[in-house]
Structure 1
Amino acid sequence: MENQMPREEGFDHSFGLLKEGYNFIKNRSENLNSNVFETRILGKKAICMTGEEAAALFYDATKFQRTDAAPNRIVQSLFGKDSVQTLDGEEHKNRKALLMSVMHQESITNLLEITSNQWEQSIDKWTKMEQIELYEEVKELLCKVAFKWIGAPLHENEVKTMTKELAAMFESPAAIGPAHWMGRTLRNVIEKTVQQMIQDTRDKKVQYPKDSVLHKFAFHKDVDGQLLDAETATVEVINMLRPIVAIAIYINFTVLALLQFPEQKEKLKNYPDYAKMFVQEVRRYYPFFPFVAAKVKSDFTWNGYDFKEGTLTLLDLYGTNHDPQIWDNPDEFQPERFANWEGTPFSFIPQGGGDYYLGHRCAGEGITIDVMKVSLDYLVNKIEFNMPEQNLDFEMDDIPSIPKSKIVLSHVKRINTQ
């Protein structure tokens, strides 16, 4: 039996989306007392969903498609044209297999060793500085990590430029006007740089290690057995680089959590297994990406509601991670909730839901967790610092949201363990 889907009245709610950011879907879901509702965005009908059951539906490839779903401004600045996030079917499986092929244990161990070495080098620098903006410093640290991991280490004079270009991709999609256009421009610049690397390795002008990310991506073949065109290979290499730099957002929130919940530091020092629980709770509790988009593949009915082919559908990531039907006391910071956590791939979705290999869950989620754990160890056990007075507020209408001060640390010192 078909029911009328709860609907938000009004001609268009694009402004509300920008104004409320991470809380846009959550607020309306609560007001309408429904985990699914209809609204209008950019003048067109859109369906918004939240919660575990909705996430399981959203990641059903027979019901939804990613092709042409994400707004062009997101594709042009964040994902890139014809990226894995915009594909379906066999093309998506082929491309996702490429991304997952570099997520094996040896590759991840190498990444974490590089991360630890970069923390060591950065601390050497920070101890000579009166104060630092952690967000900006960690972006540079992770940019060095990312390029070295793919097999193309940066020269020191390239770091700031490359960091700015990669960060602009995830800092600008929700921006309006010049900030957004700058993000698109900087993406174009770094695409040219990486594409030249791809072409150089194909032309054998530069020999990157055969087991490196760059070499694998340069010579990957599509579903038809043809080399990916250089532009597409470039987009996917950037899909390795950009998310690593974006972990800086989580690391900023890690420090904020240590400050807001000081009792956590002793638990981290005393219980080795606590670090992963803490990292997972940072990812659940603080905002990262607000929602993901798809389009209805063909007409179907779910829970009595009619979904029409081609309708834009948004799944609420932030709201699902704060859903009281999934989480006890969702607005409290409680890492212990992950001690014996038995959730599903659709209940905890800070970086998307579903299956890594066949679905659209972020291929780099495991990397994110591991890099955060390495960074947390440095922040808790290997350095000490002062926190000068600063504005640590963050806004839920800023996408991505980070503390306004970008976490200023002063008088960074190594902890003497002898």
Structure 2
Amino acid sequence: MRDSTIGVLTQGYAWLPDRLRTVDGEAYRTRLLGRPAIALHGPDAVRYFYDEEHVVRKAALPDPVLDTLFGQDAVHTLDGDAHRARKALFLALLGDERRVEELGDHLRRRWQEAVTARRGERIVLFDETARVLALAVRDWAGLPLDDALTTELGRDCVAMVDGFATPGPRHLRARRARTRQEHLMADVVAGVREDPPPPGDTGPSAVEAVALHRDADDGLLPEHTAAVELLNILRPTVAIAWYTAFAAHALHRWPHHRDLLRKDAGGVHAVAFAHEVRRFYPFAPFVAGLAARDLEWRGDPVPEHTLVLLDLYGQNHDPRLWDHPYRFDPHRFTGAAHRPEALVPQGGGDPAEGHRCAGEDITVMALATLATELARLEYTVPDQDLTIPLSRVPTLPRSGFELRLA
């Protein structure tokens, strides 16, 4: 069977949807990195993929991805009780409504400071938003870093995400960024453990919670692992810069949403707008795991250790699930609640029981917040290349979305 690794690297987001079309949406078999693989699609596939009786993560992620995006020994590599114990740490921090609101307060303050400081300037929105998100999550997490180190943290988090899915210079930058930040975060963790702060009124900060977390074996995480997991809170928050650039792109193409967001006193349209940005624009092309044992998918055999891919980008544009899927329409999310197994920009399943991202609430909150701030902001959009190349993973407008503040 032909290996598709080169196709994934050259076609990016289009690779898997194109292949699934050749089998009319049924399972597509191939090889990736020399390993037998089967690609699945649709809500039934989401439920199948996130059932630990079917698919496990241990040994599924290749070292190049762990050494850039997630980190070795990260929660993403665990299964069963070990995964649930580690995931509880993230759910307590990222799924708590009060903590989500606190991060939103920090984000609005840092955004407004940045806008005030750069009045009249031409900025690259993606770069500036990454810096603002890094400052906001630093404040929220209780990181003892000055502004210069926090700006470097933001750049390094961007590099980790930007270089995980490609060979060459981007990948090398991602590896160096991860090494640098893991060393810094390990020092932060060691400092907390040497001098634990007294408990605060609102509970431990994110830094304290990670440093003092006890895993399934009731032991503290090794310092390196704690550093990895701390970055797995910081890095995804900074990565919301990608979605913010997409939100600006949407407001530029469909400017009537600016008025809707400005008049949106209850935040309903802002949340719907955030969901539609996540559905419409490309973020993660697919996720992967390993068959836990000899399985079947709709009567077809799936041998143990087969690489199982779950289509994300294609599913978010499937006309069987979404009316007019290539129309940008936030109103599709203002009626009945959407099905979690249909909208899968960051994976699917139950975040409490499976591997669905624990930070989706933060992503939606931050994106809704920043989209509303953009709608209220006076700026012009200079001539630039706003093409979004689907061959590049992760992608964004080529210019990073430049704007000139009024």
TM range (shorter): over 0.9
Q: Structure 1 CA distance, aligned partners of 2:199 and 2:124? A: 34
Deviation at 1:206, TM superposition (A): 7.4
In structure 1, what is the equivalent of residue 359 of structure 2?
Answer: 364
3-state SS of 2:51 partner? coil
In structure 2, what is the equivalent of residue 252 of structure 1?
Answer: 245
Deviation at 1:211, TM superposition (A): 1.4
TM-score (norm 2): 0.95
Identity, in percent, stands at 35
Give the counterpart of 1:355 among 329, 350, 353: 350
Is 1:149 paired with 2:144?
no
Q: Structure 1 CA distance, aligned partners of 2:130 and 2:264? A: 29
In structure 1, what is the equivalent of residue 235 of structure 2?
Answer: 242
Q: Is the 8 A contact 1:200 1:206 kept in 2?
A: no
AA partner of residue 211 (structure 1):
P
CA RMSD in angstroms comes to 1.5
Is 1:405 paired with 2:399?
yes
In structure 2, what is the equivalent of residue 5 of structure 1?
Answer: none
Q: Is the 8 A contact 1:25 1:49 kept in 2?
A: no
3-state SS of 1:265 partner? helix
Q: Is the 8 A contact 2:69 2:164 kept in 1?
A: yes
In structure 1, what is the equivalent of residue 122 of structure 2?
Answer: 131
In structure 2, what is the equivalent of residue 390 of structure 1?
Answer: 384
Q: Is the 8 A contact 1:148 1:154 kept in 2?
A: no
Deviation at 1:197, TM superposition (A): 0.5
Deviation at 1:140, TM superposition (A): 0.5
Q: Is the 8 A contact 2:284 2:346 kept in 1?
A: yes
Q: Structure 2 CA distance, aligned partners of 1:155 and 1:343? A: 41
The verdict on how the C-alpha distance between 1:57 and 1:124 changes in structure 2, with shifts beyond 3 A counting, is same
Equivalent residues, number: 401
In structure 2, what is the equivalent of residue 219 of structure 1?
Answer: 212
Q: Structure 1 CA distance, aligned partners of 2:365 and 2:64? A: 31
Deviation at 1:88, TM superposition (A): 0.2
Q: Structure 2 CA distance, aligned partners of 1:201 and 1:208? A: 12
Q: Deviations over 1:252-286 (max 9, x none)?
A: 00000001112222222334421111111000000
Q: Deviations over 1:84-133 (max 9, x none)?
A: 11110000000110101113122112111100110111011220x53001
Q: For 1:26-37, list aligned pairs within 5 A.
A: 26-37=17-28
Q: Is the 8 A contact 1:63 1:296 kept in 2?
A: yes
Q: Structure 2 CA distance, aligned partners of 1:348 and 1:248? A: 20
In structure 1, what is the equivalent of residue 38 of structure 2?
Answer: 47
Q: Structure 1 CA distance, aligned partners of 2:231 and 2:195? A: 21
Q: Which moved further from structure 2: 312-321 or 336-345?
A: 336-345
Deviation at 1:227, TM superposition (A): 0.9
Q: Which moved further from structure 2: 38-47 or 130-139?
A: 38-47
3-state SS of 2:325 partner? coil
Deviation at 1:207, TM superposition (A): 7.4
Q: For 1:11-160, list aligned pairs within 5 A.
A: 11-102=2-93, 103-127=95-119, 129-152=120-143, 154-160=145-151
3-state SS of 2:339 partner? coil
3-state SS of 1:318 partner? coil
In structure 2, what is the equivalent of residue 379 of structure 1?
Answer: 374
Q: For 1:326-365, list aligned pairs within 5 A.
A: 326-365=321-360
Q: Which moved further from structure 2: 103-112 or 254-263?
A: 103-112
In structure 1, what is the equivalent of residue 300 of structure 2?
Answer: 305
Deviation at 1:153, TM superposition (A): 5.0
Q: Which moved further from structure 2: 154-163 or 388-397?
A: 154-163
3-state SS of 2:350 partner? coil
Gaps of 5+ in 1: 1-9, 414-418
Q: Structure 1 CA distance, aligned partners of 2:145 and 2:223? A: 21
TM-score (norm 1): 0.93
Q: Is the 8 A contact 2:138 2:150 kept in 1?
A: no
Deviation at 1:145, TM superposition (A): 1.0
Q: Structure 1 CA distance, aligned partners of 2:361 and 2:338? A: 16
3-state SS of 2:127 partner? helix
Q: Structure 1 CA distance, aligned partners of 2:362 and 2:30? A: 35
Q: Is the 8 A contact 2:122 2:402 kept in 1?
A: yes
Give the counterpart of 2:310 among 296, 304, 315: 315
Q: Structure 1 CA distance, aligned partners of 2:263 and 2:87? A: 39
Q: Deviations over 1:278-333 (max 9, x none)?
A: 11100000001111110000011221111110001111111111111111111111
Q: Deviations over 1:327-350 (max 9, x none)?
A: 111111111111224443211111
Give the counterpart of 2:155 among 160, 164, 182: 164
3-state SS of 1:321 partner? helix
Q: Deviations over 1:228-266 (max 9, x none)?
A: 111111111111100010000000000000011122222
Q: Structure 2 CA distance, aligned partners of 1:160 and 1:175? A: 24
Q: Structure 2 CA distance, aligned partners of 1:19 and 1:144? A: 34
Q: Which moved further from structure 2: 29-38 or 346-355?
A: 29-38
In the TM superposition, structure 1's runs of 4+ consecutive aligned residues that sit over 3 Å from their partners are 205-210
Q: Is the 8 A contact 1:144 1:153 kept in 2?
A: no
Q: Structure 1 CA distance, aligned partners of 2:21 and 2:102? A: 45
Deviation at 1:35, TM superposition (A): 2.9
The verdict on how the C-alpha distance between 1:298 and 1:317 changes in structure 2, with shifts beyond 3 A counting, is same
